[in-house]
Every structure is written in C-alpha cells, then in structure tokens.
Chains A and B, each alone.
Chain A
Amino acid sequence: MRTATDGLATGLAVLSTVLVVAPLVAIFVYLIYKGASSLSLAFFTQVPKPEGETGGGMANAIVGSAVLLGLASLIGVPVGISGGIFLAEFGRGTKLANAVRFTADVLNGVPSIVMGIAVYSLIVYQQKHFSAFSGGVALGIMMIPTVTRTTEEMLLMVPHAVREAALALGVPNWRSVLSITVKTASPGIITGCMLAFARVAGETAPLIFTALGNSNWSVNLNEPIAALPLQIYTYAISPYDDLHRLAWAGALVLIVLIVAAVSLVRYVTSRGVLKGAS
C-alpha cells in the first residue's frame, strides 16, 4: 500500500513536470519548424527591404531590442533592487514600506499597453516624438515590480543568524545589509532580474506607443528604434507569406536570444562560487 502511494505520488509529480515542460518544448519545436528555414546570414546582417521586395533581415531589430533591453535593465535592476532592499531591511513595518509594496503589486498587474500609454503621455507627448529612450523607460518600469518583490523575498529568506553574526562583529547595519545579506541572497536576486528581463524582452504593446519601430538602422536614443517583438508583430499582420515566414524566424531568434542572455548571466555569476557554498 505504501509503495503504491509512493508510486502514485511520484507518477503525479512526473506528469506535472511533463505538463509544464511540454508547452515550452512544443512552442520551440514549432518555431524551429516554421522559422528555421527563413534564417540566413542576411537575416542577421540586413535591414528590412521596402514593401514588395523579397529578402531582407532583422539586423536593426535585433540591435534595437538589445538597446531597449539594456536601457530597461539600467533602469529596472538598480531601482528594483534598491526598492527590495528598502522593503526587506530598512522599511519593515513602516507605512511607507506597505505603500511601496502595494504599489509594486499593482504595477505588476497593470496591462502592458497601459504602461505604453502612460509613458507615451509622460515622455513621447512632451517631446513630440517617438524614441528608443521612451521605449526603454516603459520596459524598465515594467521590470521594477518583479525585481523589487523577488529581491525582498530573497532577502527575507537570509537566516537571522547570518545578520546577527555580522552585527556582532561590530559591522554597521548598512554595511552588513549590503555586504552580507544582499550577497547571501544574490543568486535569488539575479533570478528575479532574469525573470523580469525575459518578461519584458517579449513585450510588444508598450513599444507601439514609445519606440514605435524603425525599418532603418538606428541606435540613436532620441529616434524611433526597431525591436524584435515589434517587427514580428508588423510582419505577422501583413498579407505576405514571405513576411510571415520572417516573423516566425524573428520569434525563434527572440527566444534563442533570451535563453542565451539568461544563460550568459547565469554562467558569469556562477563563476567564483566556492566549494560547498549553499
């Protein structure tokens, strides 16, 4: 009887794992099936061809996405981590902390298109032009709540004994927080940043009102900039078959690049981890 229960529980766990992994694998396989054939050197080196001509690539959109995500991370990661540190270490139990936590949760639930409109009216409308900068800000703001809340939760998981050890050595509290608590929680905090990064990497709606898209080369923060999700969207709703195929290829490249970026960060941050570190 006990063996049967054990077998049943194990079976259910395996089944759930398959159910979780299956959609991801299915999407990935389907993307390769639909998109891989359109991948060529030109896809990575050329900008889109004018309408009606065949060929062309998404080089500008790949670089554009990198610029937008870089800018978003520059805003979202420091602000988000600082917010999380405040919530977990300095503001615990204060009204301000509760307000910040509530705001972060609400912000997390704001539809991305609303974020786009908000940044449109705050930046684009004021400046009278679309820009890469406004797109990066929109994505950056969307990263903040995820980063803040995971940072807070990871810091709270650091054992009280570790904090006490630092304080008992005569280390000032702020120093103990930055050098001991945050460092101890850093693997989890990095995971949170990666989650936020991957989430905004595929965002299209907020970019429609901010970065706008661009069929030419541009890395100027003050001009509209291309982005992979935007380019995929534009091509997917077009009436041409070869553009549809390019959209599939774009989606494949987007996913591969996200996986590559996350893996790279994981690799870089896991170097120097000590034997037996927990």
Chain B
Amino acid sequence: MGVGIEVVNLNAWYAANHTLQDINLNIPANHATALIGPSGCGKSTFVRCLNRMHETNPIARVTGTVRIGDLDIYKDAKPVEIRRRVGMVFQRPNPFPTMSIYDNVAAGLKLNGYRNRRELDEIVEQSLKDSALWDEVKDDLKKQSGASLSGGQQQRLCIARALAVDPEVLLMDEPASALDPVSTSKIEDLIFQLKSQYTIVIVTHNMQQAARVAEKTGFFLNGRMVEFDSTHKIFTNPSDKRTEDYITGRFG
C-alpha cells in the first residue's frame, strides 16, 4: 500500500545554485499527484529529493525534512533503504542493456541478494502484468534483451522493474515525454490503475496529462512551489495569477 509524503522546508542546491526554495507540501497516499512547471523550475530536483537520488550528484546539497509514511528519510534511514521503498521511473527508458527482460525486472531483488527462484518467477510475472507488458513479452522473457523492446515497451519494463521491489511510492519523472501518443496513453492508463496500490508522484510537461491522471497538482516556478491544490481547481480556477498565466499558455 502507498503512504503519504510530508515535505517541510525543503531546500536543495547544485553547488551555489539554489534550485529548490522552502518547499512545503503534503502528498496524499494512494493518489496520483502531478507536478507541472516550465523547464528548470525544480520539479525534477524535487522528486529526486524524495528518494535521495539528488545527493548522488557530488555537488548537490539538501536541507529540510521529508517524511514518507512515518519515516524521516534524511534522518532515520540510509539512501539505499529509502530507494527500495520509493521507486523511480526516469524520463528516458533506461533498461539494463546486457540483461534479459526477466533479469531487468528481477534486478532490484537479485542485486540485493534475493535468490528464491520460484518467488522471483512469480514477482516478475506479476510486475510485468501490473505494467501491462506481460502479454507482449511472456514468450521471450529470458531470451531477449531489455534493450530490444520498443521505446514504449522499454518504459513499461522500467515501471515493472520499479514495481518488482514492492515500493510504497512511485516517482515518475516525465515518464512519457520520450514516447509516441499511443505509448503515452498506455502509460497513463497504467498510472490510473497503479495509484490504487501506490502513491504516485509524476512530473510532467504535458498539462493535459496532469489533468487526466492526477487528483492533485502542484505548480513549480523558479525553484518555488507557487500553488498546490486539487487538479480540478488548478486547471479551472487557480488562486495564483502566475499559475493561471502558465496553464493558459502565456509563458513557459
């Protein structure tokens, strides 16, 4: 089951560049939350702070509090533990090129020492079913490389790979921006189904996409969160003039 995320006074830097400034918000459990905003506004940095991927960059720094469920991720746990509970799907599909489809999905478990074959088989099958890829790949699971799939299939493979470690939260950083419209709508359907089991945070440039999949939407601008509200309110009656300008296409 998904858990809620509470962010208090989050600040992040790349070297001297203050990328995120005083972010406060509550992301509800088992819902999809969209983050929108122009390029460079900090929304990608924000999701990378939620699984501590931000700090894999040696020049990056972060302060503030992030609670995922009852876990204070910057205090109570190591990055690797948090990343097992908070899955991530990236903008460009990034399957492991030397691994079979099966091994790609099983990678998170196998690399953490999980060895029970029968359970692995079940988890791989379930994850691929959950990511709506099973029927397309079930005959070539161990023969075909993850890199041989189409872009849209690769992205669903990456989702399956993230689901296989049974996270509570799924972060998606523009998961459909490199895909064609058909693949995009498959990913969106998937988000719709997955949010009953996981808390989903999706960064997107596509405002229709935010409107379609998310209950809540946050608008980021220049490293600050301008507005966070129900998606319906953000797109029909935003409180902030800048939000309105952005969603009506006056800038960005």
Contacts and interface: CB of A to CB of B under 8 A. Distances in A.
Contacts of A180: 96, 107, 111
A169 B111 contact: yes
A186 B98 CA distance: 9
Given A168-B87, A172-B80, A276 B53 contact: no
Contacts of A49: none
Interface residues of A, number: 24
B97 interface: yes
Interface stretch (B118-126, B139-147, B191-199): B139-147
Given A164-B53, A275-B148, A169 B97 contact: no
B189 interface: no
Interface in B103-161: 107-108, 111-112, 140, 143-145, 147-149, 158, 161
B158 A165 contact: yes
B156 to A, nearest CB: 14
- SS of A interface (majority): helix
Given A167-B53, A168-B87, A169-B107, A274 B112 contact: no
Looking at chain B, what size class is its interface with the partner chain?
Answer: 35 or more
B100 A171 contact: no
A276 B147 contact: yes
B131 to A, nearest CB: 15
Interface string B24-37: 00000000000000
Contact of B84 (A170, A176, A277): A170
B92 interface: yes
A171 B112 contact: yes
B164 to A, nearest CB: 9
A278 B81 CA distance: 31
Interface in B80-104: 80-85, 87-88, 90, 92, 94-100
Contacts of B82: 170
Interface of A: 159, 161-162, 164-172, 175-176, 179-180, 183-184, 186, 274-278
7 contacts: A161-B94, A162-B96, A168-B88, A180-B96, A184-B97, A186-B98, A278-B97
